[in-house]
Each structure stands twice: as structure tokens, then as C-alpha cells.
Amino acid sequence: MKINKKKFIYLISPNKIFRNFYKDLNEVLNTKKVYFFQMRLKNYSFKERIVIGIKLKKICNKYNVKFIVNDDPLLAKKINADGCHLGQKDMRIEEARSIIGNKIIGVTCHNSIKLAKVAIQSKANYLAFGAFYSTKTKKVRYRASTKILNKVNKITNLPIVAIGGINSTNYKNLLLNKANFLAISGYIWKNKKLKPVKAVKILR
């Protein structure tokens, strides 16, 4: 996976698709700062997620953004996504690999070097750590500090994704500590002061 330093955003969808979402997503991806886009929809049926996923994949293809499905390798295969992201409670990497083949598989490692080593051995394509800051997007059970980024960089060359409460005031600290990608959702989609495209443009 080639890392382009200008494309450091790992954008995660809002939990619900709102009215102007597809238009906003086009504008955001057109800034050329987003490398990954993850579809994370919790309260939709499998059929609904197929329909939405096909639309999202078209938009991602248009801007050369990698389209990732959260939690569900079977859905990723069905809509021919670029890969899937697995939490620690989802299926094992080997099983996901048998479903989606040589696509991207990313793994949540929370704040644990031990989990990172398991993911590296199982041939994950990237490792995600967090939460680094407080966030309203998900309940935070694990807190990570920049020390974990430095430790992981010593044991692997795999891309590292930082997640959790990332915004315009704290993102640079994570990039300086060698996070390759920043997973962002709330700051873009639930920003009360800035529209999504403006929120992204501030991150440079």
C-alpha cells in the first residue's frame, strides 16, 4: 500500500445517511485528502447496505479512494469493495481472507502491542489504534497515547491508522508521531460550525 502524505484522511461514514450526504461526500473526496472511505452503518439491513454500498463505491472510484466496509467481509465481497475493517469481536483475519481474497483487511488493535503482533502475523494490511481523544461517535473502552504509535513503528512497516476524537486542533500531533492515516467521522459529519468540505480543507 503506497502512502501519499497528502492523502492522510481515513474517512468514516456517519451512522445514518442524511439528505445531502452523497453531495457532501463528493465535495469532500474531491479535496484529494482522503485515502480510505469506510462505510459504517449500524442500523440498516444487509439489503439496504448493498444498495447504499454500490452508490458509495461509485463515488469512491470516481476520486480514486479505497472503499472499505466495516465489520462485514461477506458484504465487502458482495459489493466488490476494496476491503473490510475488522474489530476484535468480528471474524478472524484468516477467515475474512478466505472470503475476500487479496483485498485490504484492517484490524482494530485498541492500545495493545500484543493485538498488533497477532494482526501482523495474520497478514493484516493496516493496524488501527485508539481512541486517542474523547469521542461521541462510539463508546470509548480503550484509550491510546502516542507512545503506542512509536512502539508499533519499531516492529512493523504496516500503515498505522489513529482513531478517536480527532479534529483540527489535535490531528497534527498524531501525524508528527507517525500515524499514517487519521480516521475521522464526527469532526466532518457532525461539525456544528463547519460544513464537511470546509472541515476537511482545514486539515493540511
Stretches in the chain below the pLDDT threshold 50: none
CATH fold, domain 9-202, is TIM Barrel (3.20.20)
Which is nearest to 3 in space by CA: 140, 200, 175, 155? 175
Angle between helices 46-62 and 21-29 (to 10 degrees): 30
pLDDT of residue 139: 67
pLDDT of residue 6: 82
What is the reported pTM? 0.95
Q: Give residue-wise pLDDT tens across range 159-182.
A: 999 999 999 999 999 999 999 999
Structural domain spans, the chain:
9-202
Q: Give residue-wise pLDDT tens across range 182-197.
A: 999 999 999 999 999 9
Q: What is the mean pLDDT of the chain?
A: 95
Question: Is there a contact between 161 and 126 (Cβ–Cβ < 8 Å)?
Answer: yes
Which is nearest to 133 in space by CA: 144, 122, 125, 124? 144
**Number of residues that make up the chain:** 204
Question: Is there a contact between 146 and 130 (Cβ–Cβ < 8 Å)?
Answer: no
Percentage of the residues of the chain whose pLDDT score is greater than 90: 91
Helical ranges in the chain per DSSP H: 21-29, 46-62, 73-78, 93-100, 113-121, 146-155, 171-176, 186-189, 196-202
